[in-house]
Amino acid sequence: MQDKLQQIKTEALLALKSVKDKIQLEELEIKLLGRKGGQLTELLKGLKDLSEDAKREVGQLANEIKKDIESALAKKKTEFVQQEMAGLLEKENLDITQPSLPPKVLGHLHPNTIIQNDLEDLFTSMGFMVLDGPELESEYYNFSALNIPADHPARDMQDTFYIKGHSDWVMRTHTSPMQVRAMQKYGTPLRMIVPGKCFRNEATDVRHEHTFYQLEGVVVDKDISFAHMKGVLESVFKHIFGPETKIRLRPKFYPFVEPGVNGEVTCYLCKGKGCRLCKQTGWLEVFGAGMIHPNVLKEGDIDPNIYQGFAFGFGLTRLAMLKYGIEDIRLLESGNMKFLEQF
């Protein structure tokens, strides 16, 4: 056994001389000292079969040889580390007097922000206030105040994120909660828009995203009619899509307006002739609107017998996608630099 121990040591030191890098060194270490199958480890398993005296004698020799091998391996490792450091210093040719280079990308506005800024300017020029609202909203402002009671099926169409332990708070599903908040705060006459983030519990795909941007608008005053609504919306979409743009209003149910309309504009790409973008119809569905429901005015402390108003909403995200020809909505929130650097 003593001979075998000596043999392992001799061979180990010889093998160490031909080791060229840290990986080979590690392999050798495992071959010799590995807990499973290491040459020395395996040999020492035979110690238990020896007599007490032999055990003591061989054990002592084995320990010495193990220490010798370990220190030889450690010495080699240190050599490699020193070589590596020297190589790094040589490679790192640092000139601290060189002036810094300007950053490659200076930063710019997100496509959503470009559209939002443009529309804020337009609405401000028409006398609208620009308001901000909470993204974490009470169930009351998000639903109940907008004529959507707890058992109303319209709530199912806007599945959202509820807050654990606070079932009466929701991540707002639309910018509409600001309708009643603004009425309560500013009273009449009222002309305001609310651009901002909204949230839905969506299974995301190219057309659906859990986070998106809307723009809400409200006008309340005496003698406000459906014609005012149409006039404002026509101006807005002519501004966005060009002066030839026409709008088409068709009845649609929204709980917080009466009557409510689904708004379409002539396709800017084919000018109404029909193409892939508008699915050959010539029209693009871009907004919802209507005369504010008397129940909503009442929640805003406004007398529906004296005042009327209209409200409208559209997806800023959708407009950005149309304007820039973006086909996958998920790109907008992705933070993907290759995508964002195009704007």
- Which residues of this protein are in contact with Zn ion, per CB under 5 A? 267, 269-270, 275, 277-278
CB of 273 to Zn ion, least distance (A): 7
Q: CB nearer to Zn ion: give 75 or 273.
A: 273
Of the two residues 259 and 282, which places its CB atom closer to Zn ion in the complex?
A: 282
> Closest separation between CB of residue 184 and Zn ion, Å?
42
The CB-of-274 to Zn ion minimum distance in angstroms stands at 6
- Classified as helix, coil or strand, 233 is helix
Does a cis peptide bond (omega within 30 degrees of 0) precede residue 243?
no
Residue nearest to Zn ion (CB): 267
**Which region holds residue 49: left if phi is over 0, alpha if psi is between -120 and 50, else beta?**
alpha
Per-position DSSP letters for 147-174, written without gaps between them: T--TT-GGGGGG--PEETTEEEEEE-SS
- Which among 66, 65, 83, 68 is positioned nearest to 22, based on CA atoms? 83
Question: Shortest Cβ distance from residue 144 to Zn ion (Å)?
Answer: 40
Question: Are 283 and 250 within 8 A, CB to CB?
Answer: no
H or E element that contains 142: helix 139-142
Backbone dihedral angles phi then psi of residue 238, each to the nearest 5 degrees: -65, -40
Query: Which one, 210 or 271, has the nearer CB to Zn ion?
Result: 271
Nearer to Zn ion, 193 or 278 (CB): 278
State in angstroms the smallest separation of the CB of 266 from Zn ion. Answer: 8
| Least Å from the CB of residue 211 to Zn ion | 28
In the numeric block, the tokens 């290759």 are attached to: 338
> End-to-end distance of the chain based on CA atoms, in angstroms?
77
Cβ closest to Zn ion, residue 154 vs residue 270: 270
Least Å from the CB of residue 320 to Zn ion: 18
C-beta separation of 108 from 48 below 8 A = no
Residues facing 257 on adjacent strands: 292
